[in-house]
Amino acid sequence: MGRPDNPLTMRARELGITLVERERVPSSRRAHECTEFARGAGRIEPFHASVLRMYWSEGRDIHDWDVLAIAAREAELDPAEMRSAVESGALAVVVDDRVAAAHELGIHAVPTFVIADRFAIQGAQTADVFEKVIARL
């Protein structure tokens, strides 16, 4: 992302979205486990939106428990309950299983969008790529 001509940076700028430059990319593993907690509580969408905003627009460390606690509260989740569930190790198994299932399908990029179980769009693509896939359907 460090180049001004980076396609992701350029698309974000066109949409008025701020992407923060960072020197160090934090581990997202803990955030993924917390996301599984949010999924189980029926709050995945607000939790995920909060984590993505904090990571991309605010440049925060989504491995940090304090940051994840803010996301939990924003999603109306109990941060202490979320942390306890993650530290139990049970959600690590869920994340491992999801990663293994994705790899079995040949998915190795984030994001990957699977359209109608027929097409996979990997990476941050422009709208025209999605339009071409939809037209082919």
CA–CA dist 127, 91 (Å, integer) = 34
CATH 3.40.30.10 residue ranges in the chain? 7-104
Predicted model pTM: 0.82
Q: Which residue(s) pair with 121 in the sheet?
A: 113
18, 57 contact by CB (below 8 A):
yes
Is the domain defined by 7-104 classed in CATH 3.40.30.10? yes
pLDDT in tens, the chain (137 residues): 556 677 777 888 888 887 888 888 889 999 999 999 999 999 999 999 999 999 989 999 999 999 999 999 999 999 999 999 999 999 999 999 999 999 998 888 888 898 998 898 988 788 899 999 999 99
How far, in Å, are 8, 32, 121 from residue 107 at the CA level? 20, 17, 10
